[in-house]
Structure 1
């Protein structure tokens, strides 16, 4: 009986740890997605500036 109680405690601890790890992964994924989005916007703006400069030179 004590073995069963210990196993339940271990399972609960393991589940809590997994929840923490998955939460951390989710947070990091969201940050990376935001940074990629920002970089994409910056690259688009740079591309627009280059296109405008090329039009004025023509």
Structure 2
């Protein structure tokens, strides 16, 4: 009986680690999107001419 209980706890721990890893990945994706958005706005604000040379 104690062996079965230990197996359930061990399986539960793996499930928690998977959830933590998935949450970490989601948080990193949100941070990456936020950084790219700030970089995009910064690029628009600091362009010398309004139109890039390849569009002229």
The DSSP-based 3-state class of the residue aligned with 1:32 is helix
Q: Which has the higher helix share?
A: 1
Extract unaligned runs of 5+ from structure 2. Answer: 50-56
Aligned-residue CA RMSD in angstroms? 1.0
CA deviation vs aligned residue, 1:27-53 (integer Å, no higher than 9, x gap):
11101101110110010011111112x
What are the residue-to-residue correspondences of 1:16-55 with 2, within 5 Å?
A: 16-52=11-47, 55=48
User: Taking structure 1 as the reference length, what is the TM-score of the superposition?
Assistant: 0.77
Offset at residue 7 of structure 1 (A)? 1.4
User: Taking structure 2 as the reference length, what is the TM-score of the superposition?
Assistant: 0.79
Larger Rg: 1
Extract unaligned runs of 5+ from structure 1. Answer: 1-5
State the number of aligned residues. Answer: 49
